[in-house]
Amino acid sequence: MAVPNSELLNRLLDTITRAGDDDNDRETSGNGAAPGGVAGEMPGHGNDISGQTLTALLTDIKAELQGINRNLAVLVSCVQGNSRNQSRRSALKPGAQFPFFMVPGVREELASVVIPPELEPVRSFLNDHDLYIVSAGLRRTASAIPPDRLRDLAGFIGENYGVLAPVLREIRRTYSADRYDFRFRVRTDPDSREVLIRLRRDLRDLGFADSAGETAGESAAASGRDVLLDLSSRLTEEPAGRYFLTGGWLEVLARKLSEETIGELFEESPEIRLYLAANLAVRSGDEEDFEMDLFFLLNGLPFWIECKTGVREGWQEDLGRYRELAERYPVLGRNAFLLAADIEPEQILPLSRESGIRIVDIPSFKRVLRDSVLSDIASGDMAGNPQAHLRKCGQEPVRKEATPAFYATDPGFLRLREFLSRKGISAEDHNTIPAEVNGSFNEFAGFFWQNRSRLDHFDCDLRTALNGGDLEIPSGEIPDRHSLNFQFVLWLKDLGFISGYEHDKKKKALVLKDVKSAFYADCVSIYLWPAYLAWKLETRLCGRDSGRERPVILRRPAFQGPSGTAAEADLAVENGASWIFVVAASPDESEEELRERLKALLDTGISAEFILVAVPAPSAGMKARFRSGYGVVPGSPEETVRAVLTSLAERNTGN
């Protein structure tokens, strides 16, 4: 249940107090106007209280009281035996009576909500989708600090979060215990020491903390390997500082990085229209409220970003809510992200599946957002002609074509074609992977192979199911969103292997609708193993480091040699100015079939030094046979990935 906003009440009290002081000090002239002023104004001590300020305060008070009334109604309804969802929806019907006043219908009530003029396009867009702004900037606290200063500090925290995370966690714990005396001692290396000292200086300069001064250990030269740093401070009790230091910095950072990404993509042009709003409180047409940390429109297309600090257990329960919103309002789910400060790379994939929105960490946020914008441009759904305003150094968007997927405009493929043309080999401008399994299929492969032993019986059932029929997967009394069964079903639906699912309480099972078993079997048998290798490469090469460029990996490229011999590789990985070609043997493939595919690739003219063969578990005898017959030694997935990484580090020029 919400409590009255203490900051709002303090603002109101301050306004009334200053207005009263001004009224006592004022001498009224004969015409009713204050000396030196205009009738109706209240001159104060250098800080006038205008009618606009009072109007804004009254609007905030109205919104605050409405929130209290809504929660009181929910509480009363719950006491009467209703569920929380029933109470929210029944108690908020237009015309329902509340303890304080009658609440009008949602459209009438929210038509007069005051928002900044620049957010009117956002209001109009949401209204068109039966969503209504209750307030903008609800959690933003009043502060005299210039926004640019807060953006700079948020950017500094984001760039150095690996060093600053322990300090910020301790600050959060201090505030959560309603304490303000903060002391954090850490033994650190000289480079990290400079980062921590700057954080303390910035907090002091912004008024977020009163520094207790340097200790003798800090002022001494760092003669050893590390030094002891004491960050003793008195944290501010002001709401603005408390909000920023306990997680608000990440929302400020998300806005900063989003604006930077758009600025880096596009030349300045009035045709590129960006409308951005933070902390939007939104109500749906059926009277359900929720908040969006960051929402912006880019040439008519929406982007929704949620921000989470702290450990995953503290916010994981919110993921189900985000999935429900994205499913109920597809316009919100189109470009939905959860920016998590404390997230490990191995957690990103399963949590993304659970929430239905893309979970990203700080280093990868700009890249993921950039890719999403480019994908929207390629789809043709973005208003105007934004592609014409992309900066010359920006990546060209590529539209996903129907099967077969064409490489004609892919920069990586064009470099591959140029590399092979010098050897008299032509590269076909398409791959043979169905368009439906492009993109996220690599991530599904990682999920599948890491859990292969536990998914094996489900895999067998899907392969043998009647195509187009239904299938059941045990779920227990209540389907656990964190369970492997549920995660697997979500993948099947998202990749198009089933049309949907529902929970049968009587059977205690998830019923899969319209199982496309033939499509599933083909994709898993032919494409899953190479996709797993691609996923491992991307994970090992990038991880948390946004500064490292993602590898160029082409899937199922086709070639033709000078003699007319045709062949395919499962993967082509760019290696500086040269390429590595991977032939991946699935667990169901015989050694003879693998030999035929490898020989065909060699016959096109591609040298064995550029070829790797990946096998789930190659035996010593198999390695000897391939080494003597083809000059290629098969390796396990780990060995193959290690060979690619070694080659990427060593080779910088073409051969």
Could you tell me the pLDDT band of residue 535, with boundaries at 50, 70 and 90?
Answer: confident
Q: How far apart are CA 499 and CA 519, in angstroms?
A: 13
CATH class as words, domain 245-389: alpha beta
* pLDDT for the residue 301: 92
Is the pLDDT score of 559 beyond 60? Answer: yes
Q: How far apart are CA 395 and CA 383, in angstroms?
A: 19
Helix, strand, coil % in the chain, rounded to nearest 5? 50, 20, 35
> Could you give the angle at the alpha carbon of 460 between the alpha carbons of 458 and 466, nearest 5°?
100
What share of the chain in percent tops pLDDT 70?
70
Q: How do beta strands 426-431 and 500-504 pair?
A: unpaired
State the DSSP code for 422: T
- In this prediction, residues 135-144 reach a mean pLDDT of 60
For residue 557, report the phi and psi dihedrals to the nearest 5 degrees: -70, 145
Could you tell me the pLDDT band of residue 69, with boundaries at 50, 70 and 90?
Answer: low
Residue at 73: amino acid letter: A
- In this prediction, residues 451-479 reach a mean pLDDT of 79
> Which ranges of 501-619 would DSSP assign to H, the alpha helix?
517-526, 528-541, 591-603
* pLDDT for the residue 648: 73
Q: Does the predicted TM-score (pTM) go above 0.75?
A: no
Q: How far apart are CA 515 and CA 504, in angstroms?
A: 17
Is the pLDDT score of 93 beyond 50? Answer: no
* pLDDT for the residue 26: 47
CATH code that applies to domain 411-433+527-650: 3.40.1350.10
Could you tell me the pLDDT band of residue 21, with boundaries at 50, 70 and 90?
Answer: low
- In this prediction, residues 476-489 reach a mean pLDDT of 74
Encode burial over 483-507: b for 16+ CB neighbours within 10 A, e otherwise.
Answer: eebbbbbbbbeebebbeebeeeeee
**Domain boundaries along the sequence of the chain:** 6-103, 147-237, 245-389, 411-433+527-650, 436-523
* pLDDT for the residue 3: 45
Residue partners of 486: CB distance under 8 A and separation at least 6: 475, 479, 480, 510
* pLDDT for the residue 296: 94
Could you tell me the pLDDT band of residue 415, with boundaries at 50, 70 and 90?
Answer: confident
* pLDDT for the residue 306: 92
* pLDDT for the residue 258: 95
- In this prediction, residues 63-69 reach a mean pLDDT of 57
pLDDT in tens, 345-401: 777 877 777 777 888 889 889 988 988 898 888 778 888 889 888 886 545 444 333
Task: Extract the tokens encoding 111.
Answer: 């038509």
3-class SS of residue 277: strand
State the DSSP code for 456: H
Is the pLDDT score of 256 beyond 90? Answer: yes
SS3 per residue for 578-590: EEEEEEECCCCCC
- In this prediction, residues 568-595 reach a mean pLDDT of 84
3-class SS of residue 394: coil
Q: How far apart are CA 601 and CA 581, in angstroms?
A: 9
Q: How far apart are CA 116 and CA 52, in angstroms?
A: 13
Higher pLDDT, 610 or 186: 610
Residue at 485: amino acid letter: N
Question: How many C-alpha atoms does 246 have within 13 Å on its Cβ side?
Answer: 20
Higher pLDDT, 192 or 30: 192
Q: How far apart are CA 262 and CA 302, in angstroms?
A: 13
Is the pLDDT score of 253 beyond 70? Answer: yes
Higher pLDDT, 39 or 354: 354
Residue 260's Cα: distance from chain center in Å? Answer: 16
Look over the chain and give the mean of its residue pLDDT values, rounded to a whole number: 75
Q: What is the maximum span of the chain, computed from C-alpha positions, in angstroms? A: 110
* pLDDT for the residue 339: 93
Is the pLDDT score of 548 beyond 70? Answer: no
Is the pLDDT score of 77 beyond 80? Answer: no
Whether the domain at 245-389 and the domain at 411-433+527-650 fall into the same CATH topology: yes
* pLDDT for the residue 385: 87
pLDDT in tens, 197-244: 899 889 988 888 886 544 434 444 444 455 677 888 889 888 888 889
Q: What is the CB neighbour count within 10 angstroms for residue 625?
A: 14
- In this prediction, residues 163-180 reach a mean pLDDT of 89
* pLDDT for the residue 139: 52
Task: Extract the tokens encoding 116.
Answer: 């900044």
Q: Which CATH number fits domain 436-523: 1.20.120, 3.30.1370, 3.40.50, 3.90.400?
A: 3.30.1370
* pLDDT for the residue 433: 66
Q: How far apart are CA 345 and CA 443, in angstroms?
A: 12
pLDDT in tens, 438-457: 667 888 888 888 888 888 88
* Least trusted range by pLDDT, from 205-214, 498-507, 578-587: 205-214
Higher pLDDT, 480 or 503: 503
pLDDT in tens, 616-654: 888 889 999 999 999 999 998 888 888 888 877 665 444
Is the pLDDT score of 603 beyond 70? Answer: yes
CA distance to 18, 22, 47, 600, per residue, from 41 (Å): 13, 10, 12, 87
Residue 155's Cα: distance from chain center in Å? Answer: 17
Is the pLDDT score of 308 beyond 70? Answer: yes
* pLDDT for the residue 478: 64
